[in-house]
Amino acid sequence: MRLAVDRIGVELRWLEKTDAEKLFRLVVANREHLAPWLSFAPTTRKVEDTMRFLEEVQERHEKGLGMHFGIWLGEKLIGTLGAIPDRYGYGTYEIGYWIAKAYEGRGIVTRCVVRLLDYLFEEEQIHRAEIRCHADNARSRAIPDRLGFRLEGCLKRASRTTDGEYGDQLIYGLLRTEWAAARAHYTVAVGTKLSK
């Protein structure tokens, strides 16, 4: 599956096993950048680690248990974006994302999340989207804040950092019935139209 994101060539593509080498190299190049927030960053040491992840991703795709995209700028893999359904079947999908340090601050992840939300709410007809992030990760928190999610709660000391400390995890939620207004506000705020 491919979802065009914007006019500068950003695209979401389902991750495939053939992406293992590129994804592994991207994680290694960004290990220090990702390690404080993502548990896989310090433990991804061989391309086989990435291949195992991609095999799990393919199995999830085949069973309809989530979607995992690479974030591509042309033919360059620059990050990932995923959406996993809740285990109870209540129509909630949890969204997670990361991008290479060199591409931070350009609004790419926000535009990718907008495109994914369009797909999830309009095509999949999900009921609710959720984003969880470490309370100290200001860049990650800015995305749900920007897109009209509501801060619904805080899981005290539920995230573990690479130095073995525990930090708070914030939960943001957005209902399908709230998305049209939130999207319109975002589009006006950035003064651009996004591809659909």
Give the CATH number of the domain where residue 69 resides.
3.40.630.30
Q: How far apart are CA 118 and CA 57, in angstroms?
A: 22
Does residue 195 sit within a domain?
A: no
E strands present in the chain: 2-4, 10-14, 67-73, 76-85, 92-99, 128-134, 150-160, 166-175
pLDDT for position 190: 56
Q: How far apart are CA 173 and CA 149, in angstroms?
A: 5
- Tell me the whole-structure pTM to 2 decimals: 0.90
pLDDT above 70: residue 17 = yes
With contact defined as beta carbons under 8 Å apart, do 130 and 148 qualify?
no
Instruction: Provide the domain count of the chain.
Output: 1
pLDDT above 50: residue 45 = yes
| 137-164 confidence digits (pLDDT tens) | 999 999 999 999 999 999 998 877 666 7
**Which SS3 state, helix, strand or coil, does residue 171 take?**
strand
pLDDT above 70: residue 86 = yes
Average pLDDT over residues 70-90: 94
pLDDT for position 162: 62
Range scoring the smallest mean pLDDT among 33-42, 97-106, 177-186: 33-42
Q: What percent of the chain has pLDDT over 70?
A: 94
pLDDT for position 189: 60
Question: Which of 77, 76, 80, 78 has its CA nearest to residue 66?
Answer: 80
Domain carrying residue 97: 2-190
Does residue 136 sit within a domain?
A: yes
